[in-house]
Amino acid sequence: MEKKDFEAWLDNISITFLSLTDLQKNETLDHLISLSGAVQLRHLSNNLEILLKRDFLKLLPLELSFYLLKWLDPQTLLTCCLVSKQWNKVISACTEVWQTACKNLGWQIDDSVQDPLHWKKVYLKAILRMKQLKDHEAFETSSLIGHSARVYALYYKDGLLCTGSDDLSAKLWDVSTGQCIYGIQTHTCAAVKFDEQKLVTGSFDNTVACWEWSSGAKTQHFRGHTGAVFSVDYNDELDILVSGSADFTVKVWALSTGTCLNTLTGHTEWVTKVVLQKCKVKSLMHSPGDYILLSADKYEIKIWPIGREINCKCLKTLSVSEDRSISLQPRLHFDGKYIVCSSALGLYQWDFASYDILRVIKPPDFSNVSLLGFGEIFALLFDNRYLYIMDLRTEKLISRWPLPEYRKSKRGSSFLAGEISWLNGLNGQNDMGLVFATSMPDHSIHLVLWKEHG
C-alpha cells in the first residue's frame, strides 16, 4: 500500500475506532493482537512498558513525592531505595519519614541537623541497635577485682565507678579500662557519692565522712546518727549534705564545717534513700529552681523543702497503701518533674507538681522486678536472673540480659544503673559505657556494658 493511501486508511480506521464502545475497542485490539506476528508483539511490548510503567518519583514535584512516601513503612522504603539511583536519592532525602521512623524506635531527634541524608543513616544505625537488643546481643560483661571483703556501696558518674567495702577501703575505677584510679582507707561504707576532688561516705559506724581523693585524708566527719547511714547526697552550691539512717531520721549538715543544721523526723522505718534535687515544676508548695529533699523508707516517701527554714516541715508524704500492706523498694527516681518508685504492685509514677499518681506500670510477674532507671522512653529493670529494658510508651519489655548470682541486698545499694541518658531516647552516641553494676559474693564487681556498634 502506498504511503498516502496508508495514511488515509489509518485516519479512517482511527475515526471509526474512537467511535466504538470500550468493549468494542477491546475486541478490536484482541483481534489485531491475534493477527500479529513476533515483530509486532515485541514492538507492542516495548511501547506498553513506556506508557504504563511511568516513574512517578521522577515526574512528580519533590513535595508530592515526600507526601506519598510518608504512607510507606521504613522497610518498604528501604526496598524501594534499590529500584534506581534516582529513587534512592529521593527516598533518602525524605527527612520527615526517617525522623518519624527513628522516633518510633525510641531515638532522639536533633532538629538542628541540616543534612537531608542524615536521618536515613541514623535509622539504619537505630534498627541495628534495636535488633541487637531484641536478640540479646547489645551488651557485654566485665569484672573489677581488687577488694578483699564484701562490697556494699556503689556510685557511678561520668565513666567512673566508686566502690565501698567492708575491707575498710573505697576505690575509684575507670570503667572503660578497668583500672583503679584511687584507693583510700575509709570506714565500712554503706553508701558513697563522689566528685573529682572528694568522696562522701555513709557508714555502718553511724557516721558520715568526707575524704580527699588525692591524699586519702579525712577532711570532715559528721557525727550524730544513732544508726547505720544508708544513703547520702550533697550539693556544693548549697554547702549542704543530707543523710538517711537506720535511726529513722534524716539529717541536714553543713558540708564545709560538719555542723548538723537540722534533724528531720517522721519516718518509722530505716531511711534507705535520700535525694537532693532541684525542682523543675511549679506547684502551691514549690517553684522551679527550689531545691527539694526526698527521703524514703520501707513504706513512705517524704518530701521536704531545703534552704527556706531551719525547722522545715514535711511538704508531703507519698505511699502506695494506707495500711502499709505494700512496701516500697529503695531505688527511688526523681528528676525534678516526676517521682518513680517500684513496689510489689508495679512501678508507681507521681507528678511532682500535683503529687498525683500518673500511672502504675505492671509488667508480667512484677513481684520480683526492681527499678534501676526511668526515663522518657525507656526504663531499666532487673530481677534475680535478668536485666530488662522496657519501652515506656507500650509498657512492654523489649530486651533482657542474663545476670550472674549476684549478692542480694534489701537496701539495694550494691547494684546500680550506669549511664542513664539513653533512657530518654537513644541517639547513637549515648549507647556506650556502663549499663549495670553489682557486687558479687567473691568481692568482685560485675559490669554490664554496651557493646560497640557493629
* Assigned fold of 137-448: Methylamine Dehydrogenase; Chain H (2.130.10)
Task: Please give the grid coordinates belonging to residue 366.
Answer: 512484677
Task: Please give the grid coordinates belonging to residue 402.
Answer: 542474663
H-state helical runs in 116-230: 118-134
Q: Who contacts 331 (Cβ-Cβ below 8 Å, separation ≥6)?
A: 273, 341, 342, 370, 371, 372, 412
Least Cα distance to 224 among 235, 240, 209 occurs for: 209
CATH architecture for segment(s) 55-133: Up-down Bundle (1.20)
Tally of CA atoms within 13 A in the half-sphere of 88 that contains its CB: 7
* Integer Rg of the chain from CA: 33
What pLDDT does 250 receive?
95
Q: In angstroms, how far is the first alpha carbon of the chain from the final one?
A: 71
Distance of CA 365 to the CA centre of its chain: 22
Q: Where in the chain is the domain with CATH 2.130.10.10?
A: 137-448
Tell me if residue 53 falls in helix, strand or coil.
Answer: coil
Residues 186 and 62: their CA atoms lie apart, in Å, by 67
Task: Please give the grid coordinates belonging to residue 253.
Answer: 549538715
The answer to whether the pTM exceeds 0.75 is yes
Task: Please give the grid coordinates belonging to residue 136.
Answer: 540479646
Question: Position of cell 507500650?
Answer: 394
Q: Please list the pLDDT of the chain residue by residue as tens digits (454 residues).
A: 788 888 888 888 899 989 999 999 999 989 988 998 898 888 888 887 766 777 778 778 888 888 888 899 999 999 989 988 888 999 998 888 999 999 999 999 887 887 878 889 999 999 999 999 999 999 999 999 999 999 999 999 999 999 999 999 999 999 999 999 999 999 999 999 999 999 999 999 999 999 999 999 999 999 999 999 999 999 999 999 999 999 999 999 999 999 999 999 999 999 999 999 999 998 878 889 989 999 999 999 999 988 655 567 889 999 988 888 888 887 889 999 999 998 888 899 999 999 999 999 987 766 678 899 999 999 999 988 899 999 999 999 999 999 987 655 544 458 899 999 999 999 888 999 999 999 998 899 999 999 986 5
Residues 354 and 348: their CA atoms lie apart, in Å, by 14
What pLDDT does 345 receive?
83
Task: Please give the grid coordinates belonging to residue 346.
Answer: 508495679
Least Cα distance to 265 among 302, 308, 232, 230 occurs for: 302
How far is residue 407 from each of residues 146, 211, 410, 414, measured CA to CA in Å? 17, 27, 10, 8
**Residues constituting the chain:** 454
In contact, 189 and 167? CB cutoff 8 Å:
no
What pLDDT does 383 receive?
86
What pLDDT does 335 receive?
92
DSSP string, 96-133: HHHHHHHHHTTB---TT---TTHHHHHHHHHHHHHHHH
What pLDDT does 134 receive?
92
Q: Where in the chain is the domain with CATH 1.20.1280.50?
A: 55-133
